[in-house]
Amino acid sequence: MSASPHEATPHGSTPCREGVPQQPGAVQDQPENPEAPGQLAPTPSQTIGPFYGYALPFPGGGDMAPAGHPDTVTLYGRVVDGAGEPVPDALLEFWQAGPDGSLRGAPGSLRRDPATGAVVGRDGVDFTGFGRVPTGVDGRYVLRTLPATAPASRPDAAPYIAVCVFARGLLHHLFTRIYFPEDAAAHATDPLLSRLPAHRARTLVARADGERRYRFDIRLQAADAGNGAAAGGEECEETVFLEFR
Amino acid sequence: MTPPSASVAPAPPAATAHADPAAAPATSPPGPEPQSAIDREIAALHTAAAHARTAGGPVPAHPGRDFAPYRSTRLRHPVQPLATIEALRDPEAVELAGPVFGGTDVTALDADLTRQHAGEPLGERITVTGRVRDRAGRPVRGQLVEIWQANAAGRYAHRSDRHPAPLDPNFTGVGRCLTDDAGRYTFTTVRPGAYPWRNHHNAWRPAHIHFSLFGTAFTQRLVTQMYFPGDPLFPYDPILASCTDPRARARLVCAYDPELARAEWSLGYRWDIVLDGPAVTWTEEDR
């Protein structure tokens, strides 16, 4: 017996393809972007889904600092949804300037053993500037890295770590930033923080939590009375997310 | 014209769907919704988007994060507007540069998903290739492309995937490569199967390969899914439908390319990728 894969279609028994080509035939070599003439139209984002866990995370993904480096800081926190519940299937990526302020990065985050193919991790000499950490069942992530540094071209800027958030249920990743409480003076002139209301800017500053340890939570959606969590208060403020143009 | 009624189709046991606990949060009403309810929501959102386009409004290149037919978006999309960073006004932004990868990060075998085990995986062997470029058409050279996918039966090698389709001991479904000087990537794999999920009753994902891409800037980061031409599940899938512009959906579908097929060996598909987002303009000396 053949069970229908669907119970009804919006267009009767012959489903309309709604513009998705069934056999494009020719490759769309130069898709013009209608929004920006002369530019190619970007490939759309789609959710990372629930099953990236055996593909993208790698051993030592959160150990950005060279092993045993005395300046290493621990950054940890939770990713929570609009109900305040932990998000156990988010993937966080981190990108920061090197200790010398260089933004060139270095290869080797996923360094491999050529004999076995296994990921053997960073070599502990180069600071690659890149980290990748999946959240646990409790929504928590932990990153061990060097303190953020300002780019060499602007040494007086407020240092921060760039963060990219992926998750099941998130159709397009989100960017945010982690600033540090020691740099309050520089925050006053930071091009982003200085134009945010104080209660919003606060969501981008990690909280000191012991010696060389910081907490930074990411709330994907503001809590409101409609989704079960208590409204109001700093704990419920949605994290500021960024869009680059 | 009359579609089969719900009572004709046998209800699958709960275990046939992928474990996706938050797809049915405790606060949502119990009982699976029918495909027809999802279809109506998608049609309404697509009609609204078409009207906005006709009225000359902006055509979104990416899905909105609040796309209700994909139920898991409900508590996971920001409701506050995003803060805009203008690359031209803030050229020192850290995100205008990005991570780099190199020969130490991949091995030659990583791009062939059919050769990672002692035996050959089951399924239809395929080559997937294409070029990665930025919005200005410049090739993205030497950057990391990662893929993951279900096996030919529609099952991921992930412990949480409880779909009772067979695992394939000869297929993991993870690949990596670096783009070449023309921005080209190439993978050899098997065509993944469709699989059920718990967004609504009898929901099935069209066959797809997940892609993760890095550009020359962190702003150009992209995670997406590539679909196969001719899939009958397209009109019913809320994740593909989250691209409300039909041209945007078409950009997620690869093309069969007989030039890429290898006689008596494999079929070939081409899928070109364009990364969004600004970057600093590096000079040759910088790189």
Average pLDDT over residues B84-110: 94
Contacts of B64 in chain A (CB under 8 A): 171-172
Query: Rounded to a whole number, what is the distance in angstroms from the first to the last CA of chain B?
Result: 60
Residue A22, pLDDT score? 42
In angstroms, the CA B93 to CA A8 distance is: 49
Per-block mean pLDDT, blocks of 10 residues, chain A (245 long): 33 38 42 70 97 95 95 98 96 97 96 90 93 98 97 92 98 98 96 96 97 97 62 73 96
The Cα of B69 is separated from the nearest Cα of chain A by a number of Å equal to: 11
Distance CA B240, CA B227 (A): 9
Mean pLDDT (whole number) for B177-195: 98
> Quick one: pLDDT at residue B29?
52
Instruction: Identify the pLDDT of residue B204.
Output: 97
- Single-letter amino acid, residue A112: R
Rounded to two decimals, the pTM is: 0.88
Q: Where do the domains of chain B lie?
A: 21-76+105-274
Whether residue B195 is predicted with pLDDT greater than 80 in this model: the reply is: yes
Q: How confident is the model at residue A35, as a pLDDT?
A: 62
Interface contacts A/B by beta carbons within 8 Å: 367
- Give domain B21-76+105-274's CATH architecture: Sandwich (2.60)
A184, containing H or E segment: helix A184-187
- H or E element at residue A243: strand A242-244
pLDDT at A117: 87
Report the half-sphere exposure of A20 (CA within 13 A, side-chain side): 27
Does A242 contact B at CB distance below 8 Å?
yes
B156, B185, B236, B269: the active-site residue: B156
Give the length of chain A: 245
pLDDT in tens, B204-243: 999 999 999 999 999 999 999 999 999 999 999 999 999 9
Give the angle subtended at the CA of B195 by the CAs of B192 and B199, to the nearest 5°. 140
Cα radius of gyration rounded to whole Å, chain B: 21
8 Å CB contact between A134 and B127: no
Helix H or strand E segment including A242: strand A242-244
pLDDT at position A34: 60
CATH architecture group of domain A46-245: Sandwich (2.60)
pLDDT classification of B31: cutoffs 50, 70, 90: low
Active site residue B210: yes
B54 DSSP 8-state letter: H
Residues 6+ apart with CB under 8 A from B262: B127, B268
Other Cβ atoms closer than 10 A to B283: 7
Closest Cα in chain A, distance from residue B121 (Å): 18
Of the candidates A134, A142, A151, A165, the one whose C-alpha atom is nearest the C-alpha of residue A99 is A151
Residue B21: pLDDT band with limits 50, 70, 90: very low
| Mean per-residue pLDDT, B84-100 | 93
φ/ψ of B251, rounded to 5, equals: -70, -10
Q: How far is CA A85 from CA A193, A221, B25, B268, B271, in A?
A: 27, 11, 10, 43, 37
- Given B46, B74, B210, B270, which residue is catalytic? B210
Beta bridge partners of A86: A80
* pLDDT digits 0-9 by tens, B143-160: 999 999 999 999 999 988
Gap between the Cα atoms of A212 and A205, Å rounded:
15
Domain ranges of chain A: 46-245
Q: What is the DSSP letter of B51?
A: H
Q: What are phi and psi of A48, to 5 degrees?
A: -70, -20
pLDDT at B283: 44
pLDDT of residue A109: 97
State which H helix or E strand residue B50 sits in: helix B35-54
Integer Cα distance of A168 and B22 in angstroms: 9
CA-based Rg of chain A, rounded to a whole angstrom?
22
Beta-bridge partners for A162: A95, A177
Are B200 and B34 in contact, with CB atoms under 8 Å apart? yes
In SS3 terms, A33-57 reads as CCCCCCCECCCCCCCCCCCHHHCCC
The residue ranges of DSSP E strands in chain B, in sequence order, are 83-85, 125-134, 144-149, 174-178, 184-190, 195-197, 203-205, 208-213, 222-227, 255-256, 267-270, 273-275
Contact B87/B98 with Cβ under 8 angstroms? no
Query: Are the Cβ atoms of A46 and B224 closer than 8 angstroms?
Result: yes
Note the pLDDT of residue A235: 67
- For residue A19, the model assigns a pLDDT of 42
Residue B76 and residue A167 in contact, taking contact as beta carbons nearer than 8 Å:
yes
Q: Averaged over B130-140, what is the pLDDT? A: 96
How far from chain centre, in Å, is Cα A100? 24
Q: Residue B9's pLDDT is what? A: 36
Burial B168-182, CB ≥16 within 10 A → b, else e? bebbbbbbbbbbeee
Tokens of B133: 């470029």
Do A31 and B95 count as a contact with CB atoms less than 8 A apart? Answer: no
DSSP string, A42-108: PPPP----S-GGGTS--TTTTB-SPTT-TT-EEEEEEEE-TTS-B-TTEEEEEE---TTS--S--S-
Is B71 annotated as catalytic?
Answer: no
Structure tokens at B192: 């993944």
Minimum CA–CA partner of A239 in chain B? B78
User: How does the average pLDDT of chain B come out, rounded?
Assistant: 89
Chain A 81-140, residues with CB within 8 Å of chain B CB atoms: 81-83, 85, 87, 89, 93, 95-97, 103-112, 114, 117, 128-130
How much is the pLDDT for B173?
97
